[in-house]
Structure 1
């Protein structure tokens, strides 16, 4: 075996195949780049697809150093397409099809890609809104379009099939390798640039160790259900597959009609999903005959997690000592802290104890954290709320088209996360709020957690700060109704709140990773656009 960690993104699947990986790849629906392969794949087959796609890109004019933007409906082939671009020495940029058309257009203007890889649904939605994403790429490859439908600069797969891929090119360790965007909860997302050193060596390399509990085992069925346009998909795929579990199972959306049969057919032993997906599946985990009985390890990233959700899934598994790994980090940094939650840690309910807002401690030997006064940027005493800064070797290279914004968040070697929290004398981190969403007194996250914990009918609670007035809670229930007496009793000991706005999931705008787009929600509710935070570090 040539090396012990995944290093090269472009040849990742070739390297896995040469190691003799026998991991079975199960898909909840066929890949968009080759539906004919069905829903079962293996690692050598994935390597073939990457090489084929590299040939398509070369035929479309992609050269080393070019940027290749990928924007299509959610599926794991985001990873394969990114590997194909990297194989040519190009830089893939994954953009979610969930983005607003105008935001997508802004990001494409910043990228100036040599090629945009997309589908007809995205192009048609953009045109209906008056946007034209293909205008910002030298050429566009439409994965599900017949050849020649749009024009000479818009290609179908039949226009580029059969072209041989050139030999793989491997970038310098510190050269741009891949670009991904942040969630965009407060506006247009940022375009984050990672290198081979930060993405493959630091992030994927960390996950490719056989850590106790966390590392994938040969007997595992590892299931992922999240946005594969997110940079997390690259590190997850490389780290998991390097350890050769029995199976990797991919679910492309939270809808139970797709996810349910997949989970029952390939019952996971480790499951990673967005917190919003866990919330939507929570009623299913309480049903008789649910598919979560074999899970030994749950993982959540992307957003804050409510204790009720973790408690429900931990109680659902038949394992004697299951754990929930909660990670906190950012697209720019990768994981900064992690904590293992157990049934015992979540046993107390209904109280105002932090539970899932206790984020654990920094990743040993890899991350340093400190809390500072937001005005002076000087460290605050242990246990005092402050703006959280980090130092990590996995810090990205910058933002495409927004270098000044990037530099403004660096103070020496310390990176401003934009989160408020406390750090204890022993290094334990407790999250208070995003600075932009913060309250003059109390914590949005605390209110959201307590409401979720005390009112079983509440599926989600989002607290919006209002300068000069009480915060507005937005409460999601299955039918859009809420018992008023139960609400008043649940919030009696919390800071004063405005009357709740009660809605269903359809009334809450979310990002591709399930985060609530608070700025859009404010606008829908007719609230003033500014919050109590400054928003300087978003």
Structure 2
């Protein structure tokens, strides 16, 4: 195969009339999808001057055209830049200035945000025009295809560059994990701007010749209705969306018989979630990985004996994984250490950031920063997430990023952000602030300041004003000494 777009062409040759995509009640056959990819490739090349290596940004909710642009980029050897529509304009501005896309596509709801973030960037509606298409292109499996920005531990996001071959290897592991074939029907409800929503089931399904029903956004009632009316066989969630499904009035009475499994990942899964799903007669598959691993790296497999509820499974079919010490040496079973990954599903590095790449990749092993143990059977048990990372509703929040914005306020002298447990969102950010002498500030003013520069899910839910932050001799905040003060922060 010359590039990933060829997979769609081959599936169209085998089953031209089969539904590749379903969206808002309409079906798009594999033949029509292949033609739309060809038209998208021609549009990118002829109208927008896209050449191999150029970046093509997309700011949109889930939509079939999103996938057409992805595969069109694969055909041309270009790079898709998915943008998180939950981000504020200043956050998008940094990404766009750093990635320098040739063109950005936006749906109408986000056109003004895009204009505010990058007024000089050529913009286009998320529409694939009619006409002739490019049947071939110079793209190869060696070419980078996805540039996905992750929240930055130093206050700025980093762009993980994923090649076409990484997505191919990732898909093989998804097929292995889910027992996925052309007979499957995937219900895609997680956002395509995350590698999870895009690559755990969606692109693997299209590679296999299966059908994907797309929801623009997640809504629990809509998901349950679609399961009963469209009869999908596979569904991907994160714990926050899974909890929303379990809490929905229709969960207990819903006909889930078409589903072979529900999959989940992005954060440790509480055993109660596993029990609630299995009580309905469904296996809950767990998957572990990162943006940098495309993301599939470790998983539980459909049909295998279920491991302990705290286990995220075994290393994937095409990915090596180990629990290692600070020197990268593998540790004995039962000993906690850092999760290291290696395989052709891994990223090529961080965009224009060789230092950050070198800091987390050693001899081909990617250091995840996550702490885990391995049991005697080889199953991984992830105990702690990346240092200080807050996961709220499936979205990553790095405290350093929020702290950076807080310290831009003239009244704030010091800031520390931690995650507090939350029954709905798993965690929410809490800010601990030291004000400058004589300054006065309200909690609402703090939230308004952060909301002007960051996405709403990153805005601290609670604010604690304190006289000083506990620090080490080197000036680092001792976060563990702040955690007992969480009780003070409770509403």
Using the size of structure 1 for normalisation, the TM-score is: 0.68
Aligned residue runs from structure 1 range 117-132, under 5 A: 117-125=105-113, 131-132=116-117
Partner of 1:352: none
**For residues 329 and 521 of structure 1, what CA distance do their matches in structure 2 show?**
27
- Match 1:174 to one of 135, 142, 148: 142
Greater mean deviation of Cα atoms: 297-306 or 105-114: 297-306
The Cα of 1:260 is off from its aligned counterpart by 3.7
Partner of 1:483: none
The Cα of 1:363 is off from its aligned counterpart by 2.0
Q: Does the 8 A contact of 1:286 with 1:312 survive in 2?
A: no
Partner of 2:276: 312
Aligned residue runs from structure 1 range 66-81, under 5 A: 66-81=54-69
**For residues 74 and 311 of structure 2, what CA distance do their matches in structure 1 show?**
38
The Cα of 1:116 is off from its aligned counterpart by 1.0
Partner of 1:301: 265
Partner of 2:345: 394
Partner of 1:46: 33
**For residues 257 and 358 of structure 2, what CA distance do their matches in structure 1 show?**
47
- Match 2:284 to one of 315, 319, 324: 324
**For residues 420 and 87 of structure 1, what CA distance do their matches in structure 2 show?**
39
Partner of 2:92: 104
**For residues 524 and 401 of structure 1, what CA distance do their matches in structure 2 show?**
35
Q: Does the 8 A contact of 1:418 with 1:435 survive in 2?
A: yes
| Pair 1:356–1:79, CA change in 2 (3 A) | farther
Partner of 1:204: 171
**For residues 245 and 26 of structure 2, what CA distance do their matches in structure 1 show?**
22
| Pair 1:203–1:342, CA change in 2 (3 A) | closer
**For residues 272 and 392 of structure 1, what CA distance do their matches in structure 2 show?**
23
**For residues 164 and 296 of structure 1, what CA distance do their matches in structure 2 show?**
40
The Cα of 1:345 is off from its aligned counterpart by 5.9
**For residues 523 and 62 of structure 1, what CA distance do their matches in structure 2 show?**
45
Deviations 1:316-358 (A, max 9, x none): 24xxxx4222010111113221125899969xxxxxxxx5432
The Cα of 1:104 is off from its aligned counterpart by 1.3
Partner of 1:141: 124
**For residues 91 and 226 of structure 2, what CA distance do their matches in structure 1 show?**
33
Alignment partner of 1:189 is 2:157: yes
Number of positions where the alignment pairs a residue of Structure 1 with one of Structure 2: 429
**For residues 291 and 104 of structure 1, what CA distance do their matches in structure 2 show?**
41
Deviations 1:221-253 (A, max 9, x none): 3222211122341563342234334x4322232
Partner of 2:442: none
Alignment partner of 1:56 is 2:57: no
Q: Does the 8 A contact of 1:372 with 1:389 survive in 2?
A: no
| Pair 1:221–1:377, CA change in 2 (3 A) | closer
Greater mean deviation of Cα atoms: 236-245 or 189-198: 236-245
The Cα of 1:54 is off from its aligned counterpart by 2.0
Using the size of structure 2 for normalisation, the TM-score is: 0.74
Aligned residue runs from structure 1 range 229-240, under 5 A: 229-232=193-196, 233-234=198-199, 236-240=201-205
Question: CA RMSD, aligned part only?
Answer: 4.2
Deviations 1:480-519 (A, max 9, x none): xxxxxxxxxxxxxxxxxxxxxxxxxxxxx99xxxx996x6
**For residues 381 and 387 of structure 1, what CA distance do their matches in structure 2 show?**
12
Q: Does the 8 A contact of 1:357 with 1:432 survive in 2?
A: no
Partner secondary structure for residue 64 of structure 1: coil
Q: Does the 8 A contact of 1:115 with 1:140 survive in 2?
A: yes
**For residues 22 and 222 of structure 1, what CA distance do their matches in structure 2 show?**
18
| Pair 1:396–1:262, CA change in 2 (3 A) | same
Partner secondary structure for residue 83 of structure 2: strand
Deviations 1:232-284 (A, max 9, x none): 41563342234334x43222322245434322211222222232211111123
Deviations 1:297-333 (A, max 9, x none): 111133332222232222224xxxx422201011111
**For residues 277 and 185 of structure 1, what CA distance do their matches in structure 2 show?**
25
Partner secondary structure for residue 228 of structure 2: helix
- Match 1:432 to one of 380, 383, 392: 383
Partner secondary structure for residue 357 of structure 1: coil
**For residues 342 and 267 of structure 1, what CA distance do their matches in structure 2 show?**
20
Aligned residue runs from structure 1 range 249-288, under 5 A: 249-284=213-248, 287-288=251-252
Structure 2 unaligned runs (5+)? 400-415, 426-449, 470-475, 481-491
**For residues 234 and 170 of structure 1, what CA distance do their matches in structure 2 show?**
23
**For residues 133 and 258 of structure 2, what CA distance do their matches in structure 1 show?**
42
Structure 1 unaligned runs (5+)? 30-37, 144-156, 347-354, 439-443, 449-458, 479-508, 534-538
- Match 2:324 to one of 364, 367, 371: 371
Partner of 1:153: none
| Pair 1:384–1:235, CA change in 2 (3 A) | closer
| Pair 1:222–1:74, CA change in 2 (3 A) | closer
The Cα of 1:286 is off from its aligned counterpart by 6.2
The Cα of 1:288 is off from its aligned counterpart by 4.8
| Pair 1:77–1:280, CA change in 2 (3 A) | farther
Partner secondary structure for residue 300 of structure 1: strand
Q: Does the 8 A contact of 2:186 with 2:212 survive in 1?
A: yes
Partner of 1:84: 72
Partner of 1:222: 186
Q: Does the 8 A contact of 1:383 with 1:425 survive in 2?
A: yes
| Pair 1:530–1:278, CA change in 2 (3 A) | farther
The Cα of 1:199 is off from its aligned counterpart by 1.8
**For residues 67 and 370 of structure 1, what CA distance do their matches in structure 2 show?**
35
